[in-house]
Amino acid sequence: MTDTTQTLPPSTAENIAELTLEEKASLTSGGSFWTTKAVERVGIPAIMLTDGPHGLRKQAGSADHLGLAESVPATCFPPAVGLGASWDAELAERVGEALGVESAIENVAVLLGPGINIKRSPLCGRNFEYLSEDPIVSGVLGAGLVRGIQSKGVGASLKHFAANNQENDRMRASSDVDERPLREIYLRGFQRAVQDAQPWTVMCSYNRINGVYASEDPWLLTRVLRDEWGFEGLVVSDWGAVNERVPSLAAGMDLEMPTSNGHTDAQLVAAVRDGSLDESVLDGAAGRVLDLVRKSQAGAGSITGPLDADAHHALAREAAGRGIVLLKNDGDLLPLSPAASVAVIGAFAEKPRYQGAGSSKINPTRLDNALDEISGYAGHDNTFFAQGYTVSPRDTADANELRAAAVELAGSKDVAVLFLGLPEAAESEGYDREHIDLPADQLALLDAVLAANPNTVVVLSNGGVVALPFADRVPAILEAWLLGQAGGGATADVLYGAVNPSAKLTETIPLRLQDTPSFLDFGGMDGHVRYGEGLFVGYRWYDARDIEVAYPFGHGLSYTTFAYGDAAASVDANGDIDVCLTVTNTGTRDGREVVQVYTSLADSTVRRPVRELKAFASVALAAGQSREIVLTVRREDLAYWHVAAQRWVVEGGSYLVEVAASSRDLRSSASVTVEGDAVSLPLTRESSLGEVFAHPVAGPIVQAALTQMMSTMDGAASIMPEGVDMMRMMNSFPIGRIGMMAGEDFSPEMIDQLLAMANAPQS
């Protein structure tokens, strides 16, 4: 275990030495629901941590972590599902800065976010809080948010660490995942954000990982997070995630939240006194709490109110507009003309669903709705509304009458804009979705409206992807997600072309739930969730199996068009791959294109996806403008986790680098030779002959001996069926058991001598 005392700054170590055992223990758990404990005797103040991640949820009265009680007004920025679709780390950083400002004004020391867990299944009830099904997207955008928040002297809390990909049985369930996918998919985004942005805190999740609670896992919290990644901050528990406090502290879990009313503090004191917990471990955790307090106090009071609510609302509107994905636009139905009469249909147009339920629920400073904003473009005399359906059980309106009125209105106007989506109760923290279908009454309304007016635009409001059985019949579809308090205005901006859509999907939209990678395993049973799809999460699964999808990962259209020049790829002095190409806006509108880089290695010795995203850039281009861009694929992102060697390994070879507009819209490619990492594993009696053959010392010796043995065996050639490759047949045979075939030619003593020679240090 890491000697945490040795890592403490001298000033912190001095402060720790001034504290009693009881005071040190008290620092490592909450003083209330949202604050740490003060130690007034030595002038250590309490600090506040509070929910985010897409806005400040500072509760003014009673406290809870399910979004039930009211909180102070704050800007509700687009949740991660919308912000992630921008593929823009700079925009994420600007939103993070605004979150930091609002937190600082309210004297909040740590904002609990961002959430960067992988969207393993569209059924996860909390997907609206997460960025992507891909770890590079999650890590890059998550790092941007962390940098922005912390630039204002407020700590971020990267969450939920780790493999927390469902809400069902979330307090106990074990995510049973093999080491390669755990490292390459579920931890890689966290690693990127930690190493690029150093969040002040990382929040450990509720679940178990391969049977061990995240809060009690020294492999996760100490070996990986601190020793391998170099994390310098504090590990805080999710609220109520601590199972046993003493093992948690020993594992590297520093701060238990919320308060235990002193019960677990007493357990720590008792453990130190009876010798079952080394006091230096407690010193390390208390020291990291002290460091967090110091950092939060360093800039306290430097940002004061009042909040510029108008400026933050404008940023929220910009971010929301950048998160709307234009899935389809047949016949250039969009953007709409302000002169066209428009039938706005659907309850969500008037009463928007703009955020998810649970601990991230923000009390917005204001709230736009799309109906009013559309009227601002088309004029009140040219905008007409019909509710169309109900979304609240308290709404007792007759469904048939609502539908009939909507259809009549749609048939009498130039265009119908139909808002469809999921009711709030369908997706929330605390439970998962049961399906990915839109409500049946909404689908029936769509059929009727489309029959009355073929010029129908569908606008979706949802926190997780939904099935789109109408995609081939509707001319224009906007995936508008949950977009925060300014989403109504942003939707109108995109509909009327004031904003040219540039967002792209950070998760695949499947045709059916049954096609999804985790369909047979999601939810689990008996407290275990098997991650049977392994590495093949999201687009990796659909591409490997060549499964048709509704819309692929990375897809998104624009009101302009883009051309990609020929790509060139080269390895730079750091071992990274620089990918150069020219991108041209070939249309008549200014726009922005998200350029994506995927890599693959055809002759890999390990199982790999067909292609994997490794770099991306959001490129703004004026109409007719060309720009040469360089995207860098980091060498470490080419690495796979070598289970036997227990380290990251870059496999050498000729990599195919594909530049794309989506995972299935490949525009240009280049090949580049990458030098691999040397891997030398010790040979044992269990090593296969294939592994022995590949060894530089033992291989030639064994191969020559076997060849000689086969040539001298009487009748060997005559008994082997024609065309059989004997050496290949023996590849998987353990070297330690070859004696049963080769007799004295490979005695146990000879094998041991061979292994010793192979494993000896080479001069």
Other Cβ atoms less than 10 A from the Cβ of 268: the count is: 27
**H or E element: which one contains 99?**
helix 89-105
Residue with tokens 């939920």: 160
> Cα(498)–Cα(623) distance, rounded to whole angstroms?
15
Nearest to 415 by CA among 336, 328, 488, 493: 336
Active-site residue flag, 238: yes
Structure-block tokens of residue 82: 């919308």
b or e along 692-720 (b: 16 or more beta carbons within 10 Å of the residue's beta carbon)? bbebeebbeebeebbeebeeeeeeeeeee
Q: Are 672 and 654 in contact (CB under 8 A)?
A: yes
Please give the torsion angle defined by the CA atoms of residues 5, 10, 13 and 14, in that order, rounded to the nearest 10 degrees. 160
DSSP notation for 296-352: HHHTTTSS-S---HHHHHHHHHHHHHTT-EEEEEGGG--SPPTTS-EEEESHHHHS-
Q: Which amino acid is at 322?
A: R
CA distances from 399 to 371, 426, 578 (A): 21, 19, 57
Q: Which amino acid is at 753?
A: Q
What contacts 743, CB < 8 A, 6 or more positions away? none
Residue with tokens 């309490």: 46
> Cα(326)–Cα(329) distance, rounded to whole angstroms?
7
Structure-block tokens of residue 652: 């050498």
> Cα(392)–Cα(135) distance, rounded to whole angstroms?
36
Residue 691 dihedral angles phi and psi, to the nearest 5° = -70, -35
Catalytic residue among 134, 176, 217, 238: 238
The set of catalytic residues is 238
